[in-house]
């Protein structure tokens, strides 16, 4: 991987949740390449195990851990293992999250709903609850467990993963939009709460990336863009999707205690200009 600039996180212990996914897997790999000791956490152990093997092949330090970000006892067990294997956490990347079809409508507008489509009135309470828990509780619980190390050292950084949805909700995904707005709000709350402890808390708000989670929404089976893709790109001044590697510069900057020593409570858009564009 080509890092966006020279970084040195030598000796830092970086814990990344959701590291089995594309975005946070790239972040974990990049921190390892930058000299950090990385703990890659995911409920999908096979995915983070592959990541750890890739890092080891490159000569970097990364260990895989199976963890459920909605199970505090699971996180505490992993925390004890990370302490023994790598040491106390210096940087926590809260990357676990996602949406669920049960919390997604088929139509953008209620008046356009066709027969048999899942509308707002058909959303399942269990699906909505899952999305809120995965994104918000899945950020809060790992912070409770791993930021304790930082509080004891009076130094450290928490980086949450918010979304464009946190600024303006997208159609079809009300639960995910609301949950990411909660993550942004929680980031600011944490920044204030931890201000006297030496812990900085920030977030990034990625623009539209193509991932396994949203590929079917953005591209037809034949590879052509969907109508939704057309709307996204029309509202993105740069006229393209963001690549996961383009998040790394902002991530490194916000997690660098020297470069961002006075920056806390910030949610940084990395979106090709989407959040700045009014549509005219």
> Which residues are known to be catalytic?
176
3-state secondary structure of 124: coil
Instruction: Give alpha helix (H) positions in 58-199.
Output: 72-85, 125-132, 138-153, 174-193
Distance of CA 240 to the CA centre of its chain: 20
What distance separates the 2 farthest-apart alpha carbons in the chain?
A: 59
CA angle (184, 213, 163) in 5-degree steps: 15
Place of tokens 């990541």: 51
Q: What is the rounded CA–CA span in Å between residue 53 and residue 276?
A: 40
Of 6, 21, 65, 1, the closest CA to residue 252 belongs to 6
Q: What is the rounded CA–CA span in Å between residue 201 and residue 203?
A: 7
Q: Give the other-Cβ count within 10 Å of 47's Cβ.
A: 18
Which tokens go with 37? 């000791």
């Amino acid at each position: 991987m080509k890092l966006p600039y020279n970084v040195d996180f030598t000796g830092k212990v970086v814990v990344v949740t959701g590291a089995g996914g594309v975005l946070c897997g790239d972040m974990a790999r990049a921190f390892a390449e930058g000299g950090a000791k990385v703990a890659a956490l995911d409920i999908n152990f096979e995915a983070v195990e592959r990541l750890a093997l890739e890092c080891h092949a490159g000569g970097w330090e990364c260990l895989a851990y199976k963890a459920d970000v909605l199970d505090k006892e699971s996180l505490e067990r992993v925390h004890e293992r990370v302490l023994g294997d790598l040491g106390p956490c210096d940087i926590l990347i809260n990357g676990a999250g996602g949406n669920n079809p049960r919390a997604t409508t088929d139509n953008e507008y209620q008046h356009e709903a066709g027969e048999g489509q899942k509308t707002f009135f058909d959303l399942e309470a269990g699906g909505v609850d899952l999305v809120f828990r995965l994104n918000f509780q899945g950020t809060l619980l790992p912070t409770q467990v791993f930021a304790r190390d930082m509080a004891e050292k009076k130094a450290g950084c928490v980086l949450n993963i918010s979304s464009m949805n946190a600024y303006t909700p997208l159609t079809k995904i009300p639960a995910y939009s609301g949950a990411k707005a909660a993550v942004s709000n929680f980031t600011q709350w944490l920044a204030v709460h931890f201000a006297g402890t030496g812990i900085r808390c920030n977030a990034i708000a990625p623009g539209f990336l193509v991932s396994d989670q949203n590929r079917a929404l953005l591209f037809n089976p034949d590879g052509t863009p969907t109508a939704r893709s057309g709307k996204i790109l029309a509202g993105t001044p740069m006229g393209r999707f963001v690549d996961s590697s383009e998040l790394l510069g902002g991530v490194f900057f916000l997690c660098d205690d020297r470069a961002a020593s006075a920056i806390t409570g910030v949610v940084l858009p990395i979106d090709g200009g989407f959040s700045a564009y009014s549509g005219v």
